[in-house]
Structure 1
Amino acid sequence: MSPTSLLTTLLVAAASVRLAAAASAQVFSPPGKGPLKQTANYTSFSNSTLHDHKVVKGKAFDRIIQIWLENTDFEVAASSPMFESLSEQGITFTNFHSTTHPSEPNYIASAGGDFFGAADDNMYHIPSNISCVVDLLEDRGVSWATYQENMPTDSFYGYSYTQPNYINSSAAPYIYYYRKHNPLIIYDAVSQDPERVKRVRTFNDFANDVVNGTLPQWMFITPNMVNDAHDTTIDFAADFLEYWLLPLLTDPRVNGERTLILLTFDENESFGVQNTIYAVALGTAVPVNLRGTTDDTVYSHYSTLSTVQNNWDLKSLGRQDTNASIASVFDFVAKQTGHKNTPAAPNQVPHFNLTGVASGPLSSAHYVPFAAPNVNAKGAGKGGVFLRPGINLKLTADKLPAPVNLTALNTTTPWQMSPETTSGKKMIKCQGAACP
Structure 2
Amino acid sequence: MLSSPLLALALAVGSAWAATAPTFAPPAPAYNQQSPNYIGKNNNTITNGPLVSGRSFDRFINIWLENTDYATAASSSVFQSLIAQGVLMDNFYGVTHPSEPNYIAVAGGDFFGDASDNFRHIPSNISTIVDLLEAKNISWSSYQENMPYAGYTPYNYTQANYLTPGSNYTYYVRKHNPLIIYDSVANVTERALRIRNFNDFAADLNASAISQWTFITPNLVNDGHDTDINFMSAWLTYFLVPLLNNTAFNDGRTLILLTFDENETYTINNQVFTLALGGSIPAALRGTTDHTFYTHYSTLSTVQANWALGSLGRQDTNKTLNNVFTWVAEAAGWTNNGLTGNTSIPLMNATATIPGPLNPVLYVPFTAPNTSAVGAGGGPVFIASGLNTAFTAASAPAPINLTAQGQSDVPWAVDPGFDYPTGNKTFAAPATSSTAPGGTSAAVGGLRVGVESVVVLVGVVVGAVMLL
Give the TM-score normalised by structure 2.
0.86
Displacement of 1:194: 1.1
Displacement of 1:254: 0.5
Quote the residue 1:39 is aligned against.
35
Whether 2:427 is the aligned partner of 1:425: answer yes
Cα deviation digits, residues 171-214 of structure 1 (max 9, x gap) = x2000000000000000110001111110101110110111121
Quote the residue 2:119 is aligned against.
123
Structure 1 consecutive aligned stretches of length 4 or more whose deviation exceeds 6 Å? 14-17
Quote the residue 2:307 is aligned against.
312
Whether 2:150 is the aligned partner of 1:154: answer yes
After superposition, the Cα gap between the structure-2 partners of 1:324 and 1:19, relative to the gap in structure 1 and judged at 3 Å, is: farther
Q: Quick one: which amino acid aligns to residue 64 of structure 1?
A: F
After superposition, the Cα gap between the structure-2 partners of 1:254 and 1:16, relative to the gap in structure 1 and judged at 3 Å, is: farther
Among residues 405, 413, 416, which one is paired with 1:416 in the alignment? 413
Q: Aligned partners of 1:230 and 1:20: how far apart in 2?
A: 15
Paired residues of 2:311 and 2:317 also in contact (CA < 8 A): yes
Displacement of 1:22: 3.6
Three-state SS of the structure 2 residue aligned to 1:398 is coil
Q: Aligned partners of 1:162 and 1:211: how far apart in 2?
A: 28
Cα deviation digits, residues 283-328 of structure 1 (max 9, x gap) = 0010111111000000000000000000000000000000111110
Among residues 208, 213, 217, which one is paired with 2:208 in the alignment? 213
Paired residues of 2:311 and 2:381 also in contact (CA < 8 A): yes
Paired residues of 1:95 and 1:298 also in contact (CA < 8 A): yes
Q: Aligned partners of 1:203 and 1:180: how far apart in 2?
A: 17
Quote the residue 1:350 is aligned against.
346
Displacement of 1:382: 2.2
After superposition, the Cα gap between the structure-2 partners of 1:129 and 1:244, relative to the gap in structure 1 and judged at 3 Å, is: same
Once structures 1 and 2 are overlaid, which stretch shifts more, 50-59 or 414-423? 414-423
Q: Aligned partners of 2:76 and 2:253: how far apart in 1?
A: 27
Three-state SS of the structure 1 residue aligned to 2:193 is helix
Whether 2:230 is the aligned partner of 1:241: answer no
Whether 2:172 is the aligned partner of 1:177: answer yes
Quote the residue 1:7 is aligned against.
none
Quote the residue 1:204 is aligned against.
199
Paired residues of 2:121 and 2:415 also in contact (CA < 8 A): no
Whether 2:370 is the aligned partner of 1:374: answer yes
Three-state SS of the structure 2 residue aligned to 1:281 is strand
Paired residues of 1:326 and 1:349 also in contact (CA < 8 A): no
Q: Quick one: which amino acid aligns to residue 292 of structure 2?
A: T
> Alignment RMSD, CA only?
2.1
Displacement of 1:21: 4.6
Quote the residue 2:63 is aligned against.
67
Quote the residue 2:464 is aligned against.
none
Paired residues of 1:159 and 1:422 also in contact (CA < 8 A): no
Give the TM-score normalised by structure 1.
0.92
Displacement of 1:427: 7.2
Cα deviation digits, residues 1-51 of structure 1 (max 9, x gap) = xx9xxxxxxx9xx99995995475121010011111000000012031112
Q: Aligned partners of 1:189 and 1:221: how far apart in 2?
A: 20
Matches within 5 A, 1:260-271: 260-271=255-266
Paired residues of 1:19 and 1:232 also in contact (CA < 8 A): no
After superposition, the Cα gap between the structure-2 partners of 1:306 and 1:427, relative to the gap in structure 1 and judged at 3 Å, is: farther
Q: Aligned partners of 1:428 and 1:366: how far apart in 2?
A: 25
Quote the residue 1:26 is aligned against.
22
Quote the residue 2:163 is aligned against.
167
After superposition, the Cα gap between the structure-2 partners of 1:353 and 1:425, relative to the gap in structure 1 and judged at 3 Å, is: same
> What 5-or-longer segments of structure 1 have no aligned partner?
4-10, 430-436
After superposition, the Cα gap between the structure-2 partners of 1:225 and 1:420, relative to the gap in structure 1 and judged at 3 Å, is: farther
Q: Aligned partners of 1:270 and 1:113: how far apart in 2?
A: 24
Displacement of 1:349: 3.0
After superposition, the Cα gap between the structure-2 partners of 1:390 and 1:330, relative to the gap in structure 1 and judged at 3 Å, is: same
Whether 2:145 is the aligned partner of 1:143: answer no
Q: Aligned partners of 2:19 and 2:82: how far apart in 1?
A: 23
Displacement of 1:53: 5.1
Q: Aligned partners of 2:265 and 2:14: how far apart in 1?
A: 12
Among residues 25, 31, 50, which one is paired with 1:54 in the alignment? 50
Displacement of 1:86: 0.6
Q: Aligned partners of 1:23 and 1:327: how far apart in 2?
A: 41
Whether 2:330 is the aligned partner of 1:335: answer yes
Paired residues of 1:19 and 1:233 also in contact (CA < 8 A): no
Q: Aligned partners of 1:306 and 1:400: how far apart in 2?
A: 26
Quote the residue 1:8 is aligned against.
none
Among residues 227, 251, 265, which one is paired with 1:232 in the alignment? 227
After superposition, the Cα gap between the structure-2 partners of 1:17 and 1:194, relative to the gap in structure 1 and judged at 3 Å, is: closer
Whether 2:295 is the aligned partner of 1:300: answer yes
Q: Aligned partners of 2:264 and 2:429: how far apart in 1?
A: 33
Q: Count residues in correspondence.
A: 417
Paired residues of 1:74 and 1:276 also in contact (CA < 8 A): yes
Q: Aligned partners of 2:19 and 2:348: how far apart in 1?
A: 26
Q: Quick one: which amino acid aligns to residue 198 of structure 1?
A: L
Three-state SS of the structure 2 residue aligned to 1:407 is coil
Three-state SS of the structure 1 residue aligned to 2:203 is helix
